[in-house]
Structure 1
Amino acid sequence: MLSLLLPLADRWFAPAPPADKVGWLRGWTYAHRGLHGAGVPENSPSAFALAAERGLGIECDVQRSGDGLAVVFHDFDLDRLTGQQGRVVDHSAAQLQTFALTGSQHGDCIPGLRQMLDLVAGRVPVLIEIKSRREMHVIPLCLAVRRTLEGYRGQVAVMSFDPRVSRWFKRHSPHVVHGLVVTEEGRTTLFARARRHFSLWHAEPDFLAYDVRDLPSRFAASQRRRGFPLLTWTVRSPELAERAAQHADAPIAEGAGVAPADG
């Protein structure tokens, strides 16, 4: 009975988004953390510039600095991607933007979100994944991102694994396209399926970004049929690119999952 009621409840608690608001999300390939590779670190200005030059959409990760600004960086700690130690949140944005990214051949440092958006300048769409943890207060980072987006005229969307983020934008900045990132992690019990629906209802997203390893997915397919754009991550091979093409509207890809440039 519950498996029949959940899809019906979706229509009430998480209505499909207006098509004219979210249609632009479809049909792109998004470079996961920019078009990174040898000598070009992930989430670096060089990676974003290369993606824009190739005509690829861009996916990036955002953290909050110690002084409350949005910076583009994936990890909560600095050591994997820089020569520094400690947490991102323990440093000001000005300090973070002097920290060199390991392996860069172009002198890349951690960019601020404003710096990244100025570089892209609306040429290609941008997906901003807002990083959070359960114990974190998400409002300060949501506010920092919203402030940075004010006046930006390019196509941009925010997303997060944390349904509180999408819900915040739904409540406080509904004009910003907001999405829920989902991974099933092999959990197919009725309880796990119900939790996915509850997360959807809490988030009230405009789109889903789904783990490609979970596709095809009955839950993802049902939301896609209702009108939610379905993006999928992380597409790292031609085989996964084919899976994405069959079951989703746009891949978030890197490495061999990005189609080679024409010519």
Structure 2
Amino acid sequence: MTFMNLFIIAAAAAGIAAVIWGIWLFSMIPSLRKRPEMKELRKFDYAHRGLHDRANGIPENSLAAFARAADMGYGMELDLHRTLDGKLVVMHDDSLKRTCGADVMVHEKTLEELKEYRLEETRERIPTFGEVLALVNGRTPLVIELKTVKGDYRELCAAVCRELEGYQGCYCIESFDPRVLWWLRRNRPDMVRGQLTEHFRRHGTMVNPIGDFLMHNLFVNVLSRPDFIAYQHLDRKSLSLRLCRKLYGVAEFNWTVRDRLTHKKIREDGGIVIFENYLPKFDSNKQEQKEKRAG
């Protein structure tokens, strides 16, 4: 093979690499709009599924957990599913098996049927989204994760938007499903939206390898153009996330943090923390006063 042939091959390879690199950098661009809500969201730490404490009878994603978080000045993260009759309930899993001991699917039961189940053998029952909104009433911000089942993202998004009409508190919406963010981008651009992601297969979630690659490398941002990225904190050194922060200044939530040292490091790096299993120290004097009153 002549030198000229080698040069042509090398030039072609470099050109292809440059095109792929350019596509990647373009695809990962987040929303570049400046959202005033992000300033408020950055002020808080967020209790994962509420400030739950199973040992003391406070289940995850319960009204008791959300009340405890709000009373102590924490924001909170919660998960929404649609019921069979189109209502919105707060539940992380698709099934009630882990939290209620019943092998039934949330989307296959009506709200009335779901209200029969108790959370983690306590007196707490599965809350509706409306009950949580009434309880929190704007005291602290909400990070609302939308859980899609069988492609119901349109119905889920529309139901959530209806429920939030008139709510005066600060909130944002996030989802692993980029179709949720795409819907919000088209229909409710006024709402702050965030793309949830991680290195799925690295953490044992057996998703399609191509889907995993596109998600954790933020190619899906081309659809969702998110206002923030919510990344698994163990993956926060990911090249895609570091590039998105460096080049585009994207806001970053990190989940789920379970120790104060990691929490402190993320905060120092400018990230927003979703935590559980401990009480982080508060930054502001106002929050410190709330902690003392609660303690």
Change over 3 Å in CA distance of 1:174–1:87 after alignment to 2: same
- For residues 254 and 235 of structure 1, the distance between their equivalents in structure 2, rounded to whole angstroms, comes to 6
Could you tell me how far 1:156 is from its partner in structure 2? Answer: 1.0
Which residue of 34, 42, 45 maps to 1:18? Answer: 34
Identical counterparts, % of pairs: 34
What residue number does 2:148 align with?
132
- For residues 143 and 190 of structure 1, the distance between their equivalents in structure 2, rounded to whole angstroms, comes to 29
- For residues 182 and 115 of structure 2, the distance between their equivalents in structure 1, rounded to whole angstroms, comes to 30
Q: Deviations over 1:137-193 (max 9, x none)?
A: 311111111111111110011100110011111111111111100102477x99976
- Corresponding pairs, count: 258
> 4+ residue stretches of structure 1 with deviation over 4 A?
189-195, 260-263
- For residues 127 and 194 of structure 1, the distance between their equivalents in structure 2, rounded to whole angstroms, comes to 24
Are residues 1:9 and 2:26 paired? yes
* 1:173 partner amino acid: R
* 1:151 partner amino acid: G
How much is the aligned-residue C-alpha RMSD, in angstroms? 2.5
* 1:136 partner amino acid: G
Which residue of 236, 239, 242 maps to 2:258? Answer: 236
Normalising by structure 2, report the TM-score: 0.79
CA contact (8 A) 1:41 1:101 kept: yes
What residue number does 1:33 align with?
49
What residue number does 2:192 align with?
177
Are residues 1:162 and 2:184 paired? no
What residue number does 2:244 align with?
223
Which residue of 277, 281, 291 maps to 1:255? Answer: 277
Q: Report 1:184-223 matches (<5 A).
A: 184-185=199-200, 196-223=217-244
CA contact (8 A) 1:159 1:181 kept: yes
- In structure 2, stretches of 5+ residues that fail to align are 1-17, 203-208, 283-290
What residue number does 2:125 align with?
109
* 2:221 partner amino acid: L
Normalising by structure 1, report the TM-score: 0.88
**SS across alignment from 2:59:** coil
- In structure 1, stretches of 5+ residues that fail to align are none
Q: Deviations over 1:186-234 (max 9, x none)?
A: 77x9997665332111112111111000022332233234232100000
Q: Deviations over 1:41-87 (max 9, x none)?
A: 00000000000011000100110011111110011111211143311
**SS across alignment from 1:81:** helix
Are residues 1:144 and 2:159 paired? yes
